[in-house]
């Protein structure tokens, strides 16, 4: 086993998680409206999904990879429709005092599981991991190396969400309700655009 693979996996996980997308917008908005702990729980849901897809790619589980790719249209449609609903509710959300943390229905488990499920509906993520892991030479299914890379991916993705939610939490007290309204609207529009692309790709 090569311990350096954990560091490589960390860099991959951090880089993939840092890509701007609907998930990032959702985590940012949750951190702003519901506090850092809820935002972090959501981010860990993403890290778990990244780690899951990373493990499938790293361990060379071709049958699972193929099944996910074959189901990409259904999964993409489900994920796109869910994003569309989130876009609508986000854009219409009423702003409130950022200094007040609002309790979340479903609590932390709900925040974690909702983002985990949404992230797992994007099977193209596994193709990204597969290509990257092949470049690292660890997609052969060697258990020790695969485990180290998977751990690195989870830790790297988790580290990004710790950084992001911490920064957003610091800025949270400086944001007015007027800015919250603008952020909700902008996030809703952006998430809606991602949703339309996902649905279009799924039915094409």
The helix (H) or strand (E) run that includes residue 101 is none
**Terminus-to-terminus CA distance in the chain, angstroms?**
43
**pLDDT for position 40:** 94
Residue range 105-128: mean pLDDT, rounded:
79
The token duo for 107 is: 């609590």
pLDDT (tens digit per residue) in 11-41: 888 988 887 678 888 898 888 888 889 999 9
pLDDT at 189: 87
* The predicted structure's pLDDT at residue 4: 77
Q: If pLDDT is split at 50, 70 and 90, which confidence band does 96 have?
A: low
Residue 48 has pLDDT above 90, yes or no: yes
CB neighbour list of residue 74: distance below 8 Å, 6 or more residues apart: 202
- The answer on pLDDT for 202 being more than 60 is yes
35 vs 14: CA distance, rounded Å:
22
Rounded to 10 degrees, what is the CA torsion of 111, 117, 119, 123? 180
pLDDT for 200 equals: 84
Identity of the highest mean pLDDT range in 61-75, 112-126, 157-171:
157-171
Contact 152, 133 (CB under 8 A): no
Q: Nearest Cα to 79, choosing from 91, 71, 90?
A: 71
Q: Summarize pLDDT for 173-186 with one digit per residue, the tens.
A: 777 777 777 777 88
What integer best gives the mean pLDDT of the chain?
79
Pairwise CA distance, residues 53 & 130, whole Å = 9
Structure-token pair, residue 133: 């892991």
Q: Any idea where the domains of the chain sit in the sequence?
A: 4-74+97-176
Among 18-22, 30-34, 108-112, 115-119, which stretch is predicted with the lowest mean pLDDT? 18-22
């Amino acid at each position: 086993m090569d311990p350096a693979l954990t560091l490589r996996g960390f860099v991959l996980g951090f880089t993939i998680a840092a890509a701007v997308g609907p998930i990032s917008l959702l985590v940012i908005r949750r951190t702003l409206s519901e506090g850092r702990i809820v935002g972090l729980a959501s981010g860990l849901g993403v890290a778990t999904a990244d780690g899951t897809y990373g493990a499938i790619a790293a361990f060379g589980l071709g049958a699972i990879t193929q099944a996910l790719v074959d189901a990409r249209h259904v999964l993409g449609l489900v994920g796109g429709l869910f994003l569309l609903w989130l876009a609508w509710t986000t854009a219409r959300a009423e702003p409130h005092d950022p200094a007040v943390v609002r309790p979340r229905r479903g609590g932390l488990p709900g925040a974690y599981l909702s983002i985990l499920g949404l992230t797992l509906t994007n099977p193209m993520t596994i193709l990204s991991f597969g290509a990257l892991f092949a470049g690292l030479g660890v997609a052969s299914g060697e258990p020790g190396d695969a485990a180290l890379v998977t751990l690195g991916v989870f830790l790297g993705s988790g580290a990004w969400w710790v950084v992001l939610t911490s920064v957003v939490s610091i800025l949270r007290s400086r944001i007015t309700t007027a800015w919250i309204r603008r952020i909700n609207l902008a996030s809703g529009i952006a998430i809606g655009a991602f949703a339309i692309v996902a649905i279009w790709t799924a039915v094409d």
